[in-house]
Structure 1
Amino acid sequence: MSGNNASAGLRDRIEKPVVSKVSEVATKTTKPTPDAPSKGTLLTEAAILQMSDKDYMNGAQLAFFKARLQQLEIDLLKNAGETTEHLRETVLVPDPADRATIEEEHALELRTRDRERKLLKKVQQSIASIDAGEYGWCEETGEPIGIPRLLARPTATLSLEAQQRRELKQKLYGD
């Protein structure tokens, strides 16, 4: 499996709508509201987007994002295991051009796994912030990050405006 195919496969799994059962987290953190699904119902991205602002980061939404993050964590760990197995397969190729191609594929795969390792750390931090009750709120401003942003990037820790300010500062002053 080449690095591009692995990245495309991961991207496809991340972008697919996640449907999860609302777990006991939903009943422990908030009381169900008429707009919020009750325990045991399926929650989709569309349902979360239709919820009102007063339902922001209620138990059902937290359960949805926790399930999404846990699935992402499982996928990343599975990819890491597959990479290890793939790199262990020793193929003796006498042709230098073929050997160079194989080594380049391995290097690309290792770079991809390094990015995924960093993402795995962010995923685990996001799961911990859900458990701590801090998920979905901007680290700098304390304002809501927003459901659309969290659906696109479940590991986001800054609101869109705070992220734009940070990137502008980095561009102006360097890292």
Structure 2
Amino acid sequence: MNGLDATQLALLTALLERRHAELNGQERVHSQADARELAVQEIETSPADKATVRLLNELAQEAAGLHHQQLRSVRHALAKIADGSFGQCEECGHPIGFSRLQARPEARLCIACQTRAERP
């Protein structure tokens, strides 16, 4: 499977499954916190307090979006393991190095393609 032996693949699969479980656990906590946050918004407050609440809500929404994106990336990587295409760069088709996958098991691009994608 794209230069990965069975031991390496098993390690990366375990990392992804653990990360998936962590993200799912955080999602449940966020859902409960969102319910409490809605109750706080309904309370009459001063304009300064309203600005603070608005800022906190925007930060919470940004964090939730990042969390959702991370969860989607991990699910995509697990699906690629299942279909046999895990470890292959989605841009050039070359194998993604094991050391990169250890650091970011959900990586979709090899180092060279990721570097090109990040250039302005």
* TM-score for the superposition, normalised by structure 1: 0.58
Letter of the structure 1 residue corresponding to residue 16 of structure 2: L
Following superposition, the deviation at residue 139 of structure 1 comes to 2.3
Question: Counterpart of 1:151?
Answer: 102
The reply on whether 1:109 has 2:109 as its aligned counterpart is no
Question: Counterpart of 1:121?
Answer: 72
Higher RCO (C-alpha under 8 Å, 6+ residues apart)? 2
The reply on whether 1:132 has 2:83 as its aligned counterpart is yes
Residue identity (%): 31
SS at match of 1:71: helix
Contact 1:138 1:158 in 2 (8 A): yes
SS at match of 1:74: helix
Partners of 1:116 and 1:164 in 2: CA distance: 23
SS at match of 1:165: helix
Partners of 1:166 and 1:94 in 2: CA distance: 45
C-alpha RMSD over aligned residues: 2.1
Structure 1 segments of 4+ aligned residues over 4 angstroms from their partners: none
Partners of 1:101 and 1:162 in 2: CA distance: 41
Following superposition, the deviation at residue 109 of structure 1 comes to 1.3
SS at match of 2:68: helix
Question: Counterpart of 1:164?
Answer: 115
SS at match of 2:33: helix
Unaligned residue ranges in structure 2 (runs of 5+) = none
Contact 1:126 1:155 in 2 (8 A): yes
Contact 1:83 1:109 in 2 (8 A): no
SS at match of 1:139: coil
Letter of the structure 1 residue corresponding to residue 7 of structure 2: A
Letter of the structure 2 residue corresponding to residue 58 of structure 1: D
Question: Counterpart of 2:9?
Answer: 62
Letter of the structure 1 residue corresponding to residue 75 of structure 2: Q
Following superposition, the deviation at residue 93 of structure 1 comes to 5.4
